[in-house]
Amino acid sequence: MQHESLVEYGPRRIIITITAIFCALLEIVDTTIVNVALKDMQGNMGATLSEIGWVITAYAIGNVIIVPMTSWLSAQFGRRNYFAASIMIFTVCSFLCGNAHGIWELVFFRFLQGLGGGALLVTSQTIITESYPPEKRGMAQAIYGLGVIIGPTLGPPLGGFIVDHYSWPYIFYINIPIGVVATLLTLQYVRSPKYAEKKTAKEVDWAGIGLLAISVGSLQYVLERGQEDDWFSSKVITTLIVTAVLGFFFFIWRELTAKNPVVELRVLKNGNLRVGTILSFILGFGLYGSTFIIPLYTQMSLGWTAQQSGALMVPAALTTAFMMPIIGMIMQ
CATH number of 311's domain: 1.20.1250.20
pLDDT of residue 4: 43
Distance CA 177, CA 184 (A): 11
Same-domain pairing of 113 and 10:
yes
Q: 159 near 35, Cβ under 8 Å?
A: yes
Same-domain pairing of 8 and 142:
yes
pLDDT of residue 3: 46
- Domain span at 7: 3-204+266-331
Same-domain pairing of 136 and 48:
yes
pLDDT of residue 1: 42
Same-domain pairing of 51 and 126:
yes
Q: Model's pTM, two decimal places?
A: 0.77
Q: How many helices (H) and strands (E) does the chain have?
A: 15, 0
Q: Please tell me whether residue 301 adopts helix, strand or coil conformation.
A: coil
Same-domain pairing of 117 and 229:
no
Q: Domain boundary residue among 261, 277, 303?
A: 261
Q: Domain boundary residue among 261, 284, 303?
A: 261
Torsion of CA 228, 232, 236, 237, to 10 degrees: 70
Q: Please tell me whether residue 315 adopts helix, strand or coil conformation.
A: helix
Same-domain pairing of 186 and 223:
no
Same-domain pairing of 223 and 140:
no
Same-domain pairing of 216 and 308:
no
Same-domain pairing of 162 and 211:
no
Same-domain pairing of 218 and 319:
no
**Number of folded domains that form the chain:** 2
What does the pLDDT profile of the chain (332 residues) look like in tens digits? Answer: 444 445 555 677 888 888 888 888 888 777 777 877 887 888 888 887 777 878 888 888 888 788 878 877 887 888 888 889 999 999 999 999 989 888 899 999 999 999 888 888 788 878 887 777 777 777 777 777 776 767 666 777 788 788 888 888 998 998 898 889 888 888 888 876 655 455 555 577 788 888 988 898 888 788 877 877 778 888 888 999 999 999 999 999 998 888 878 788 888 888 898 898 898 888 877 776 777 678 778 877 888 877 787 778 778 777 877 777 777 677 76
Same-domain pairing of 256 and 130:
no
pLDDT of residue 202: 59
Same-domain pairing of 279 and 217:
no
Sign for the CA dihedral angle at 133, 137, 141, 142 comes to negative
> 239 to each of 230, 236, 252, how far by Cα in Å?
13, 5, 20
Q: Domain boundary residue among 243, 261, 279?
A: 261
